[in-house]
Amino acid sequence: MPKRALIVSLQGIGNNLLALPLAASLRLAGYERVEMLVTSPRAATLLTTHPAVDDTLASNAASFAGLKGRGRLVAELRRRRYDTAVLAYPSGEKSILLTALADIPVRIGLAHWTLGAAQRLLTHSEPADHGLHDLEHNAALARLAGASTDMNAHWPPFLPSHGAVNNARRFLRDNGFDPAARYVGMHPGSDGHFIEKRWPEYHLARFAERMHRTRGLATIVFDGPSERGAGRRIANLAATPVLPMDGWGDLADALGLLAFCDLFVSNDSGLMNLAAASGVPTVAVFGPSVVSRTRPWGPRRTAVVAERPCVPCYDLGPYSGCVHPTRMCLADLSPERVALAVDDVLGA
């Protein structure tokens, strides 16, 4: 009987992307069907295009809303009769409970301090090593599942489709930007519940000016539906060409637009991981979150970390917020420091 695996990744798009090498590894280990359970329907649409992923369910889909919807989700997971659930790091109690209620016989996860008693429901586990990157945590999960731990063999996992590149080309042309030119992409947003990760927009504007002056790159601001307006504000602050996405397109379209970028500069966010996952040289700005866990992965990827004694102030579990009214760790991180990191990645 074919083996069926479910990868549970109920975090943001960045965590979902970091689970894709795990999906590829499971497929090579003999699982004939590998599916994912994620949170966002937008992410699910993109992830299902990956060759190692047969289908993706989104827990935030309208059909799974409310108490009755959660019951429908559990029933759907039971109907699919998975042999194994692998809980991508850092999965929480909700993920473990869902897989147990769905009667998935093998439940693989890494134990960490936020799980409490729920971790007893895992059939295969070991303690997480908190000094590792999330991709390396997922390698440990692959080992527990009897699959290859070489996540780098499957990273970067994404190339844009021809259709997405053509959509991006039209978007550039329709907005008066040259599709034959090269650009620096930037993402001004982050998880809406974690705005403390965001580098100030006035720094992004100064950085855009510097990239135009020193490298001849105009800027594309990847401001999605939850950040709409940020790109226009940055464009108004900058004295050089800036094109806001302003909510245009979906994640596949963002992937297509990344094909026109020589560089991507971002907060610690899902778009940062999308850029790294598409092979674009990436520089990430880190303040409150732990750089060792979620920095952009791969060659020509780096992170610039704020230099304050309170950094980082968050790892796992609930975040109590920044104790400083001005979020000074990222306010103090200058565009010049980020530009030096760009020199390291691209060459001076």
Q: From edge to edge, which strands make up the β-sheet containing 261-267?
A: 242-244, 218-221, 183-187, 261-267, 282-286, 301-305
Q: pLDDT 10s digit of each residue in the chain, 348 long? A: 569 999 999 999 999 999 999 999 999 999 999 999 999 999 999 999 999 999 999 999 999 999 999 999 999 999 999 999 999 999 999 999 999 999 999 999 999 888 888 999 999 999 999 889 999 999 999 999 999 999 999 999 899 999 999 999 999 999 999 999 999 999 998 876 777 889 999 999 999 999 999 999 999 999 988 898 999 999 999 999 999 999 999 999 999 999 999 999 999 999 999 999 999 999 999 988 889 999 999 999 999 998 887 877 777 666 667 777 777 788 899 999 999 999 999 997
How do beta strands 301-305 and 282-286 pair?
A: parallel
Peptide bond into 21 cis (omega under 30): no
Tokens of 262: 């020589």
Q: What pTM value is reported for the model?
A: 0.93
Listed residue (151, 83, 86, 93) closest to 121, CA to CA: 93
Helix, strand and coil in the chain, % to nearest 5: 45, 15, 40
* Class of 4-154 in CATH: alpha beta
Q: Is 162-346 in CATH node 1.10.10.10?
A: no
- Distance in angstroms (rounded) separating the CA atoms of residues 82 and 184: 42
- Distance in angstroms (rounded) separating the CA atoms of residues 138 and 286: 22
Q: Do domains 4-154 and 162-346 have the same CATH topology?
A: yes
Domain ranges of the chain: 4-154, 162-346
